[in-house]
Copies of this chain bind each other. A is one copy, B any other.
């Protein structure tokens, strides 16, 4: 930030110098006004681009990756709501028994859901299922 302020100061100093120099040139030599105006235009266009870059850089870096559920893929794979719930809890590192307790159903039910999930996701292990589900943006 300090550097930015210093550079702005230098740019203003350059502006004063440029104006005085052009004024001198206009008297000594005989060139059209457009020529000098063109130079000023070029100089300040460059200055503006630089300023524009400075202004945006930091703002855009703040942008974090936000999760948007890919419902299209969810439907394409035919994953039901309950299966999706199980998938989410699975991704949170819960065991089948813990998932069963969380959803108030039996362990066998969760086993059925997870087996169906593996078939639909075309994987063999829960770690792979989590990986693939994250890749397809089915879970955060």
Q: Which of A's residues lie within 8 Å of B, judged by CB? A: 15, 19, 22-23, 26, 33-34, 36-37, 40-53, 55-57, 60-61, 63, 65, 90-95, 123, 125-128, 130-131
A-side interface mostly: helix
CA distance A26 to B95 in the complex (A): 80
Q: What are 26 A-B contacts defined by CB distance under 8 Å?
A: A19-B33, A33-B33, A36-B37, A40-B44, A41-B41, A41-B43, A41-B44, A42-B44, A45-B45, A45-B48, A47-B48, A50-B52, A52-B52, A52-B53, A53-B55, A56-B57, A60-B63, A90-B127, A91-B127, A92-B131, A93-B131, A94-B127, A95-B125, A126-B127, A127-B127, A127-B130
* Residues on the B chain within 8 Å of A45, using CB: 44-45, 47-48, 51
A49 partner, pick from B33, B40, B51, beta carbons under 8 A: B51
What distance in Å separates the Cβ of A103 from its nearest Cβ neighbour in chain B? 17
* Residues on the B chain within 8 Å of A41, using CB: 15, 40-41, 43-44
* Residues on the B chain within 8 Å of A42, using CB: 44
Contact A19 B34 (CB under 8 A): yes
Given contacts A22-B33, A45-B45, 13 further A-B contacts (CB under 8 A): A19-B34, A26-B33, A41-B43, A42-B44, A43-B44, A44-B48, A52-B52, A52-B55, A56-B56, A56-B60, A91-B131, A93-B123, A93-B131
